[in-house]
Chains A and B, each alone.
Chain A
Amino acid sequence: MSILLVVLEHDRGDLPVGSLEALTVGRDLAASMDASLEAVVVGDADLTAVAGEYGATAVHQVTNEMLADYGPDAWGEAVAQLVRSVAPAAVMAVGTDRGNEVMAQVAARLDLPFVANCLSVEAGDTWSMTRVQWGGSLLEDSTLTADTKLVSFAHHAIEAAPGGAASPTVKTFEADLDHSYTATMITDRVVLASGVTLSTAPVVVSGGRGVGSEDAFAPLEELAELLGGRVGCSRAVTNNGWRPHSDQVGQTGTRIAPEIYIACGISGAIQHWVGAMASKNILAINTDSDANMVTKAGYAVIADLHEVVPAISAEIRRRRGQ
């Protein structure tokens, strides 16, 4: 039986939802290939139980003392060595920054093609796939010809769901890494945000050019706080210096998937839209009823955000008896 390896992105054992998306997609893909679904865990993290819940029948624990933390060269080399040893039919990961980075490292080392950010794959001798371009504004149909297929799946494209429960066999693979791989290991971390972050917040209240100034974000901050959410912004706002780039939602900023995205004074250029389109619901507040954001949103208020946003906060407080 051939093997489909799913590389689980994790940070010192913390498993992002993207890795579960990868297993979810991998389950169907493995079935279509008549392959066994096997997870790859780099380092000592114990992720066997969750890999099993999502249908992995084996876990390849790739160990080396250098793999206690993340480093793209070390991870790439370790996974490449495992691939040489196991000879899988395919290797996949989630198309996050880290997932794509590791896959690119593996591809470079094995001199194999790698197709990033697929939405669907048809397996065969040659694979056919649809992948995203322009952050999702365009789709590309491609073929992939290689002895071992390397792909990543676009993050947020599907919902992670457990299934095919298995009790995975754990197979330890000792990677052979020399000191040169330490050059790209993480040496330190600076924690800037605790609790909900832009990419995990259930509510994102976001402002665009229409907000008008740095100070005018205060009512958006207030609303976000009342809802336990985070403030986001468009590229125009960052370019004006009103908000830090870490707040930017979009193709070159953060890609979000909240329960509701409240887009205030944002026109909805494709750069921005692709960062917001995975939101489950979108409410656009804009004076222009023809704005792209309004016509694409499920809900809209055609009015001045400077009046509407404080009114929402006031109404929430009223209902909470505050």
Chain B
Amino acid sequence: MRVLVCVKRVPAPGAKINVTGDGLAVDTTHLGFTTSPHEECALEEAVQIIEREGGEVVVLTLGPAEAEEQLRYAASVGGTGFVLIPNGGADWDPQRTASAIADAIRALEADGGEFDLIMFGNESADAGGFQVGVRVAHKLGRPIVNGIKGIEVTPEGFTAHRAIDTGVEVYKLPKPAVMGVKEGINLPRYPTMKGRLASRKAEIATMELNAPAGGQAMLKLHRPPEQPSTTEILGTGPEAAAAIVDLLDELGVL
């Protein structure tokens, strides 16, 4: 099985998220970076699939040169091939991103054969455009389903489970297929010491690609207006129960 996982490097914010002075990016002065959560799970799923089926997991990212860090992390948890498409540091719009990734996939497949499965995160944690995977799949002429929280490899292709509010929708996809994966499909492993050491030697291929800008242009980022929140303290112990139940009654949920 030949699997491709597309991942994005994103800041890892805690309780608060700030914007740089020019409003063009998240202020990462005091932040680390991570792989966008849905994609971290996509990578784990891909590694589990090749552990069962045999094969390779190529991990691709379009991002700043520093996204090498996320590719090395991928190497430490079981990725076998690594590709960086440098974007010069600033996010590209979804159309431009998808065009470059599709071009990269065509080149990788011309070289090493078709990917049986291409995985994206359902949406990136930061920009959340909800479309790059769908655009890439369409450019490659392959079926895609998003929101996937379960994958089984079958003789014909894949059975994919999509989580909805009341349960699961089941899809049966042929090979080759594309999926947008969601957190919850698995619990990603932590790197082992051996994995970490090996990841330092992982070879990262850089593909210089570009594509024309699309029709959406980001002007600036800003924080939502602070909701003037005054917190009414209902108590400091179990005796608060009476006041809480009064509140529930008032709200009509009792």
Contact = CB atoms under 8 A, between A and B. Distances in A.
Interface of A: 70, 72-73, 76, 95, 97, 100-101, 103-105, 107-109, 111-117, 132-146, 152, 183-194, 197-200, 202-203, 227-229, 238-239, 241, 244-246, 248, 251-254, 259-260, 267-271, 280-281, 283-284, 292, 294-303, 307-308, 310-312, 314-316, 319
A5 to B, nearest CB: 18
B171 A184 contact: yes
A8 B158 CA distance: 29
Contact of A197 (B146, B165, B227, B233): B165
12 contacts: A97-B147, A113-B95, A116-B123, A138-B221, A227-B253, A229-B253, A252-B125, A252-B183, A280-B251, A298-B231, A298-B232, A307-B238
Interface stretch (B15-23, B47-55, B58-66, B110-118): B15-23
Contacts of A238: 184
Given A138-B224, A315-B242, A189 B169 contact: yes
A114 B131 contact: yes
Contact of B131 (A108, A269, A302): A108
B8 to A, nearest CB: 13
B237 interface: yes
Contact of A301 (B37, B182, B214, B240): B240
B135 A186 contact: no
Interface centre among A100, A200, A319 (most CB of B within 10 A): A100
A137 B225 CA distance: 10
Contacts of A192: 166-168
Given A100-B131, A311-B241, A142 B219 contact: yes
A167 B221 CA distance: 41
B19 to A, nearest CB: 7
B217 A145 contact: yes
Interface of B: 13-17, 19, 26, 37-38, 93-95, 98, 122-123, 125-131, 134-135, 137-139, 143-147, 149, 161, 163, 165-174, 177, 182-184, 187, 214-224, 227, 229-242, 244-245, 247-248, 251-254
Nearest to A310: B238
B253 A308 contact: no
A270 B251 CA distance: 26
Nearest to B38: A252
Contacts of A189: 167-170
Given A113-B94, A186-B171, A308-B240, A197 B166 contact: yes
Nearest to A193: B166
A168 B135 CA distance: 33
A113 B93 CA distance: 9
B254 A241 contact: no
B253 A203 contact: yes
Contacts of A146: 215
A303 B17 contact: no
B232 A270 contact: no
Contact of A260 (B15, B172, B222, B251): B251
